[in-house]
Structure 1
Amino acid sequence: MTLDLSKHPCFNDAVRHQFGRIHLPVAPACNIQCNFCDRRFNCVNESRPGVTASVLSPHQALSYLQQAVERDPRIAVVGIAGPGDPMANVEATMTTLRLTREHYPEMLLCVATNGLNLAPQADELAQLNVSHVTLTVNAVRPEIGQHIYAWVRDGRQVHRGVHGAALLWERQREAIRQLKALDVVVKINTILIPGVNDQHIEAIAQTMRDLGADLLNCIPMYPVENTPLGQLPEPSPQQVVDARLQAGQYLPLMHHCTRCRADASGLLGEALSDQQQTALQQAAAQPLVPTQTRPCVAVATLEGMLVNQHLGEAHRLAVYRQQDDDFELVETRRTPVAGGGSERWQQLADMLHDCRALLVSSAGAAPVEVLRRAGIRVVMMEGLIEEGLEAVFAGSELRAPLRRDHRCGAGASCAGDGMGCM
């Protein structure tokens, strides 16, 4: 099917009041840490990239999309833009795109990414007829990029400083080349950061033109509290005008960016309505595969009041279900004997066939992945069982004090190491 590319409101200002887009928030993880970014998944009062009210699985996202399209036929574009980076969540992103293309062959598909892990996916993106890809390129000189990125994580290896910025730019350059060879429309987002890259915008635009990019969006940095660059002033209107005049010598510019949330829906500039927020939370409350019947939630607990056991140390799991406005303990189930490797976790997944989620204080990557593939979401938290159950059954995010986020307590001065605290 030939797609009408003119319907994309982010790439065609003339249709922004006619056609809408929906962002499916299926990509929570990120593989770089920008010094201006703080991703918060549960804030409904902010309108900026990296923010969403809920995170969805691919099948939850499809269910949410189906309801959204029925409710708002103006939606012409399905995008994936976070709240982390789509290509740091390759399986979730590509599965979502495949499902969307299967059910909506006429829909425009787009992805917004930092580009670090984009090139290996370029061929399939083109095969899925993903027509538009946006890359955020904030520097084409690593000595400047080192001040923008705290770290860059490539697989299990973390790069910092000039080396991290150089690796990111190398991957971005290769990704743009591959996408243009496949006739994908490429937009460049560049964050204008005073005192960091404000004298570098022209070089970025010229380099992007030489690589074949189609459009450039120069966005003023939005200072975010508790980030390394959070104390910098937002660029003045004149600084923005000057930067865009420089960039406009080389590429057409996007002037109507609304700095969308990762769960944005509708026409550009429209706030997420209460109805949309409710639909998003309802989708997140469904089993990871909504067509499955999973009425229960399992809990790793020592005494039956708190979520306070590591999955590997739990010999029994308490299984709950929602009963009217309360939660009922259905039974306790013995976990498979330790020492069985991946087979142990597959047995656990089979044992929890009726559970949509598992609440634990901590869990290793291997069981989390096995359970996820079986349609069971692993939620790491510490606190009252009831609060965890309320969040899962409501499809909302846990309150910050309950979440196990492994922070070291150093506050804004800590940029992390890209691997999480040990």
Structure 2
Amino acid sequence: MKKIITKDYHRHPCFNAEVKGQFGRVHLPVAPKCNIKCNFCDRKYDCVNESRPGVTSSVLSPEQAGVYMQQVLEKEPRITVAGIAGPGDPFANPEETMGTMRMIRKNHPDMILCLSSNGMNIGPYIEELAVIGVSHVTITVCAVDPEVGKEVYSWVKDGNIVYRGKQAAEVLLSRQIEAIKKLKAHDITVKVNSIVIPSVNDHHIEEIAQKMEELGVDLLNCIAMFPNVNTPFGHLPQPDKKTMASIRSMAEQYLPQMRHCTRCRADAVGLLDDDKTEEFRSCLSACSTLKPMPAHKRPYVAVGTLEGILINQHLGEAKSFQIWETDGKQYKKVEDRPAAEAGGGIKRWHQLAKILGDCRAVLVSGVGDTPAEIMSKAGIKPVEASGFIEEGLRVVYEGKATERLKGRNPCADGSCAGTGTGCG
């Protein structure tokens, strides 16, 4: 697949210190969950008194983030970067993250898209990130030796499995290395953040820098640990400026260094040297209370299809959905969007509702009662249909009765052609 847009990397103030006073960024706090537990991290919500990663005053849905983004740009047109940096990890919240990125790209095609992740679960989404046009990704790597890493992380969660100790560090490091290689293979600029923790990994930064150079990383950001009293490392001192200067000078033998990092909040907005997070706090709060967009105003329709001509896949068997839109005259396919993974019971349908959250309807050959109810409650009309895609789209967009589209429901007589992975 080919990227849809080429970005001007020089307008990203975090990657280019020379423009930190000209261009700004907005962090969209749509990712509250995290899949690892770092011993220095304390994620807080509704916190207005701290300025550090993992903190936000509100959490937004993708739809709310779209409204907030528009309001930010109206008041601060110097914003050139839209990023997701928590307050958890973007890919512990993949539906919200990908939905937000798709929406920002559609509504603001010239915006630089940026993500900051621990790297644990980003791998499966990298190809789509490249297609959307996400040009900058930051991966936080605090150890490249599991013996060091086991001291940094309390646990690492992979699906329903929780790893601890050295095994947790090994799993995370493996995923991080794979992710960085894949990001570079897709021509995405990669910055690595390394949190410098006294007596834990401060002696290990050179090894990290060496390994990241081998992987083709573009920029290294050594960040002094912020002591959080409610964490296992809360008793450790924050590395002083002299120590950090020495570490960065050493690491610069291997990779260019970021020396102007402001350790941004998950809801940061403005220029790096002219932060406006406080000014936009009431706007952020107001957007977090917005109700979901009415179904008739959602721009897309999702379609379950095998070959792109007919509506011929059951909701439960579709591994991806075609996403369509109309300009009032003709219909246009926007993209192929991955479905939620099979298994997981009812959770799968809630995930799918988030994935299709910008769709007014989903056209499929059949759907079970449970997923139909969940889709409907999320404002997505499940339409059982057979025949040509364009006819189904016409009926939905023109608000006509959808019963006319309905073919024989294969679930009703036991002849379902699904894979047995759960139609609902």
- Fold-level similarity (TM above 0.5): yes
Segments of 4+ in structure 1 off by > 6 A?
290-293
Match in the other structure for 1:46: 50
Match in the other structure for 2:12: 8
Change (3 A) 1:273 1:22: closer
Matches within 5 A, 1:4-403: 4-289=8-293, 370=374, 374=378
CA apart distance, 1:41: 1.1
Change (3 A) 1:373 1:8: farther
CA apart distance, 1:273: 4.7
Change (3 A) 1:371 1:276: farther
Change (3 A) 1:130 1:262: same
Deviations 1:27-66 (A, max 9, x none): 0000000000010011011110000010000000000001
State the SS of the aligned residue for 2:287: helix
Change (3 A) 1:110 1:220: same
Alpha-carbon distance in 1 for matches of 2:206, 2:346: 52
Alpha-carbon distance in 2 for matches of 1:240, 1:128: 36
Alpha-carbon distance in 1 for matches of 2:377, 2:109: 26
Q: Decide whether the 8 Å contact of 2:270 with 2:277 is kept in 1.
A: no
In structure 2, runs of 5+ residues without a counterpart are 298-344, 354-369, 381-424
Alpha-carbon distance in 2 for matches of 1:28, 1:342: 21
The letter for the 2-side match of 1:72 is E
Alpha-carbon distance in 1 for matches of 2:59, 2:168: 28
Q: Decide whether the 8 Å contact of 1:32 with 1:152 is kept in 2.
A: yes
Q: Decide whether the 8 Å contact of 1:287 with 1:375 is kept in 2.
A: no
Q: Decide whether the 8 Å contact of 1:59 with 1:290 is kept in 2.
A: no
CA apart distance, 1:291: 7.9
Number of matched pairs: 309
Match in the other structure for 2:421: none
Alpha-carbon distance in 1 for matches of 2:377, 2:174: 33
Alpha-carbon distance in 2 for matches of 1:289, 1:136: 35
Alpha-carbon distance in 2 for matches of 1:254, 1:50: 20
CA apart distance, 1:370: 4.0
State the SS of the aligned residue for 1:285: coil
Alpha-carbon distance in 2 for matches of 1:163, 1:370: 37
CA apart distance, 1:269: 3.8
Change (3 A) 1:244 1:273: closer
Change (3 A) 1:265 1:292: farther
Alpha-carbon distance in 1 for matches of 2:274, 2:47: 17
Alpha-carbon distance in 2 for matches of 1:177, 1:166: 17
Deviations 1:155-200 (A, max 9, x none): 0000000000000000000000001011100000000000000110
Change (3 A) 1:190 1:198: same
CA apart distance, 1:87: 0.7
Deviations 1:200-256 (A, max 9, x none): 000000100000000000000000011000100111222212211221100000000
The letter for the 2-side match of 1:24 is L
Deviations 1:105-130 (A, max 9, x none): 11100000000001111101111110
The letter for the 1-side match of 2:291 is P
State the SS of the aligned residue for 1:279: helix
State the SS of the aligned residue for 2:101: helix
CA apart distance, 1:270: 3.4
Identity %: 56
State the SS of the aligned residue for 2:60: coil
Change (3 A) 1:342 1:210: closer
Match in the other structure for 1:302: none
Deviates more, 1:281-290 or 1:185-194: 281-290
Change (3 A) 1:82 1:291: farther
Alpha-carbon distance in 2 for matches of 1:257, 1:214: 16
Q: Decide whether the 8 Å contact of 1:8 with 1:15 is kept in 2.
A: yes
